[in-house]
Amino acid sequence: MSGNFKGLRQFDLSLYRTEFARFELEPLVVSRGQRVNLNCRQLKLPLDAKADRASLNESEKEAGKEAAKDSGSRLASSTAGAFLIGVDEVGRGCLAGPVVSAAVALPFADLDAATIGSLAALDDSKKLDASVREDLSAKIRKIAPFAIGQASPQEIDEINILNASLLSMQRACDELMRQLNLEPAQVLILVDGNKKIKVDRYKQVTVIKGDSKSASIAAASVIAKVHRDALMVALDKVYPAYGFASNKGYPAVSHRQAIASIGACPEHRLSFRLLPDAKESKEAHETKAQKESKGKKAQKESKTQKESKTRKESKAQKAQKSQKAQKVQKAQKESKAQKEPNEETA
């Protein structure tokens, strides 16, 4: 399913079908009489009128009319049906910058073939090139409601990175539900990983490696990654010595060496190991001449090893040839010895 929007989308639909009864969620009625969550009304996507008349009760019809009149992006809280939201975070392993989460209510109904094709590359954001991520992020933002949540370096230091990650997810989900005027009872949240957001009122399902299985989580992963990368590029202009534009706050050796040289900035997570270890420190203090000398020594050792290997192989080949020659001589002698008695008898 990796890199296949249709496959990732089918995972979400299948998961929703298995979970909506357990969570007592009311499914939406969509085209062709299907009853699944499709996150379509807030996007003004068409529903099959005949299927609606056959399946919706009067209150649902009224809610549908109100939603159709609404020119904004909000969905009336009385609208029937639950929503599927995917949420994921990025930046847990960084030394600097916030941990950022995105929540996305990805539409599943009535997407045209061109839109589905344009999302074919959707996958875990870590597996995608930056240009592909940025293109996908722009397309997802156009077709799906989303929200960003984050936790600052100070919050990370105070409550630890795991709790800060879950907090950023909660903030993203709360903001998206606020935008759509939804209550938690109307939402099923797919959370990447094995830890649930610490909010009892949420109806949520954890999905291990969800960013490579679920379209909703993969979409959230892409939006969060692109947003955070842009944030770190902006921070690079404020703190240019740390290389944030290239390392995005992750623990590159050059990043740790910069911290050792000039100290940490307000965007660094002080509860993390910021300074280089012994090996990194040794590398940092080596002069250019020392590095060149080490490189030449390594090349010399490699050349010596190759020559030694060649000599051994040559010696082995000579030994094999000598053994073969000895075998041939022995065979010739034995053959000659057998012929001589026969000649005497004759």
For residue 100, which phi and psi values (nearest 5 degrees)?
A: -120, 135
Alpha carbons within 13 angstroms on the beta-carbon side of residue 203 total 21
Cα–Cα distance, 239 to 236 (Å, whole number): 5
Question: What are the b/e assignments for 207-241, b being 16+ CB within 10 Å?
Answer: beebbbbbbbbbbbbbbbbbbbbebbeebbeebee
Query: Can you give the pLDDT at residue 295?
Result: 73
Instruction: Count CB atoms within 10 A of the CB of residue 103.
Output: 32
Instruction: List, for residues 250-270, the tens digit of each pLDDT value.
Output: 999 999 999 999 999 999 999
Model-level pTM? 0.68
pLDDT greater than 60 at residue 49: no
Beta bridge partners of 151: 99
Query: Can you give the pLDDT at residue 279?
Result: 67
Q: What DSSP character marks residue 34?
A: -
Mean pLDDT, to the nearest integer, of 194-199? 96
Cα Rg of the chain (Å, integer)? 33
Cα–Cα distance, 108 to 115 (Å, whole number): 11
Nearest to 89 by CA among 206, 170, 168, 201: 168
Reduced to 3 states (helix: H, G, I; strand: E, B; else coil), residue 120 is: coil
For residue 106, which phi and psi values (nearest 5 degrees)?
A: -75, 130
Under CATH, what is the fold of the domain 5-232? Nucleotidyltransferase; domain 5 (3.30.420)
Q: Would you list the domain boundaries of the chain?
A: 5-232
User: In this structure, are residues 168 and 149 in contact, taking their beta carbons and an 8 Å threshold?
Assistant: yes
**What number of residues does the chain have?**
346
Instruction: List, for residues 209-259, the tens digit of each pLDDT value.
Output: 998 999 999 999 999 999 999 999 999 999 999 999 999 999 999 999 999
Instruction: List, for residues 288-304, the tens digit of each pLDDT value.
Output: 566 677 777 778 777 77
User: In this structure, are residues 145 and 73 in contact, taking their beta carbons and an 8 Å threshold?
Assistant: yes
